[in-house]
Amino acid sequence: ETGVTQTPRHLVMGMTNKKSLKCEQHLGHNAMYWYKQSAKKPLELMFVYNFKEQTENNSVPSRFSPECPNSSHLFLHLHTLQPEDSALYLCASSQVEQGRGGYTFGSGTRLTVV
């Protein structure tokens, strides 16, 4: 338990399904992030929420939809995904003050799109 909890740990979904990934942080941080990790590729930053406002989306396809209802919770809503979206999705949180410390990551959700 790192202070950032992600559920579910594993998810298999069809291309026509709708599902959501959940992330919760218990650290009092004021920023949360979604990263995508595909095999043999660097982590890709998908979404950033600073003080609950989305500040970055890095041209992520609209089939991925983030939601941040408060500073402790972050969701990633998924619909009509493609097989190439299969990856490990990692949530992280941090305290946004320059140089104060690193990110705390959750254990990730392993997503398989069939």
CB of 16 to another protein, least distance (A): 27
Q: For residue 98, give both structure tokens.
A: 């320059």
Q: For residue 19, give both structure tokens.
A: 């599902």
Among 40, 53, 62, 70, binds another protein (CB under 8 A): 40
CA pair distance 109, 20, nearest whole angstrom: 11
CB of 49 to another protein, least distance (A): 11
Q: Name the one range near another protein by CB under 8 A: 13-21, 36-44, 63-71, 73-81.
A: 36-44
Q: Name the one range near another protein by CB under 8 A: 14-22, 63-71, 77-85, 91-99.
A: 91-99
By the rule CB under 8 A, 65 interacts with another protein = no
* DSSP line for 29-64: -SEEEEEEE-TTS--EEEEEEETTEEEE-TT--TTE
Q: How many residues lie near another protein (CB under 8 A)?
A: 31
Report the candidate in 90, 75, 77 with the shortest Cα–Cα distance to residue 17. Answer: 77
